Amino acid sequence: MALFYVQGLPIGWMAIMLAIIASMGGFIFGYDTGQISDILLMDDFLLRFGQCSTTGVASTCSFTKVREGLIVALLSIGTLIGALVGAPTADFLGRKNAMSSECVVFIVGVIIQITSTHSWVQFAIGRLVAGFGVGSLSAAVPMYQAETAPAQIRGTLTATYQLFITFGILVAYCIAIGTRSIPHSGSWRTLIGIGFLWPLILGIGIQFMPESPRWLVRHGRFDDARRAMAATRGIPADEAENHFIIARELEEMRGALDYEEKVRTGWLDCFRPERKQLYRTLLGMTLQMFQQLTGANYFFYYGATIFQSVGISDSFVTQIILGAVNFGCTFGGMYVMERFGRRFPLIVGGVWQSCWLFVFAAAGTAKDPTTNPNIGKLMIVSACLFILGYAMTWAPGVWILIGETFPTRTRAKQAALSTASNWLWNFLLAFFTPFIVQSINFQYGFIFAACNLAGAVIVFFFLYESSDISLESVDMMYCDPDCKPWTSRTWAPPGFENRQDLIEQSRAAEAHKGLATDERIEKVNGSGAGAPPAYANSKA
């Protein structure tokens, strides 16, 4: 039986469970990201891997900017490579088996780190290997969630990936406070060692979830796909074959597959102008780039300096404050992205974030926050309000879009390219930010403010609204020459007047009111015998 109804359509408990279990991939990344900033401050880690002017005295030890940058940022290089490798892995093994194998890779990286004794290079290599697993998961998890979740809650369930990233960061901060007092190497080895638990939960738990129905359809396993959709809808398996919602969605998938099988796919297909493939690939890569250029990581790296101006000198506490704001506001982001769609929140979020970054940068440039408490308080407030906006819009929104913007036949590859763009810019910012801040200090905020405005403009002119419709319909929408990004909110597949009409017809069919007939299914999906009309007639 269905657990509850959204827009009058059934949702099963399995849909909720797959979101939670799969999102452990985000938790793994968040935990690994959150722990390193605290590990770099632990006495034993400094004594083992830092450069000390007095042997055995941690207060005299430090890392050069290059060494610290490599230890922190090599994870991002690993994730970049992993994201690209993750695409063929997810296509070949299936979404579930790919995630389990990628958890094994991450565990190997943890083992390399935890067995390091005095070589910082070994520790950095361990982070690189762990990054391979994290990067592959970052491409597979949002794609799996988007392909499996019912359209009515696809945004919310996919946004749980970002929620779990912030949760992982917060948990790492909290555990670090407890482990920093453990003598010797136990302080940092315990923090890293706990990281074994998260990939075990994901790698084992995901095997009890349904496989992506779109991957199953692509491999000719139509009965398995029908059962997978029934599980997420909370519909008994014996009713699945004749259930209108499942029949309609399965026919959409088969119609899309019939068309896609006529064309061989490869990496070059991601860059072909036909069917707006190049358009969508560049859009996904650009959105992921601007998610990094919002400047969110800048606050997590340098928030401690700002908070010192109001008497908070413990950087561990500072990180927990920022992490808690980020985590708490992401819950609001899940609601915002589902209630208001994709375009509007990203546009408003970009403008909101830009405003507070201008305030932050202007205040820090005008006065020294370490000697002027009022300026310091203003900068703290502006930083928190920036994070509030980021956590509710750009943080979850971009990951949702990566899962639902691309067609099935190239989704894994385009998602991998987009995610690789994220990790590339993550690395560049993590490595070069210390050098940039040394030169221009808080004026760095002006650069991020301009990037936020640029991101909002790009969303307005290039991003199509993909909420409330199936992934196959999203593909049809991008290929409709009469649909523009700013008019896409009301677009619906052929046979429906607008998007609201689509929702109402589906709701009526579920209630057995007879408004959705077999004739309508044929009209929308091309009878399953070939490509739907929108596929056959679409133009690039």
For residues 170 and 529, the model is more confident at: 170
* Alpha carbon distance 196, 112 (integer Å): 12
- The CA radius of gyration of the chain, in Å to the nearest whole number, is 24
- Average of pLDDT values for 528-535? 40
- Give the pLDDT of residue 515: 40
**Residue 525: pLDDT above 70?**
no
- Give the pLDDT of residue 308: 60
Q: Which residues are CB-neighbours of 361 under 8 A, at least 6 positions away?
A: 442, 443, 444, 445, 446, 449
SS3 content of the chain, % helix, strand, coil (to 5): 80, 0, 20
Q: How is domain 268-463 classified at the CATH fold level?
A: Growth Hormone; Chain: A; (1.20.1250)
- Give the type of residue at 358: F
Q: Which helix (H) or strand (E) holds 6?
A: strand 4-6
The correct answer on CATH 1.20.1250.20 for the domain covering 13-209 is yes
- The DSSP output letter for 479 is T
* Confidence category of residue 256, pLDDT binned at 50, 70, 90: confident
Query: Can you give the length of the chain in residues?
Result: 540
Q: How many CB atoms lie within 10 A of CB 315?
A: 16
* Alpha carbon distance 80, 153 (integer Å): 29
- Give the pLDDT of residue 539: 36
Q: What angle do CA 91, 32, 308 make, to 5 degrees?
A: 145
Q: Which residues are CB-neighbours of 138 under 8 A, at least 6 positions away?
A: 25, 26, 29, 79, 82, 83, 86, 419, 422, 423
* Alpha carbon distance 282, 288 (integer Å): 10
- Give the pLDDT of residue 267: 82
Average pLDDT, the chain: 82
Q: What is the pLDDT of residues 216-236, one digit of tens each?
A: 988 888 888 888 888 887 787
**Residue 359: pLDDT above 70?**
yes
What's the pTM value of the predicted model, to 2 decimals? 0.77
Q: What is the pLDDT of residues 55-86, one digit of tens each?
A: 778 778 888 878 887 888 788 888 888 888 88
Query: Which range has highest mean pLDDT (32-41, 260-269, 495-504, 510-519)?
Result: 32-41
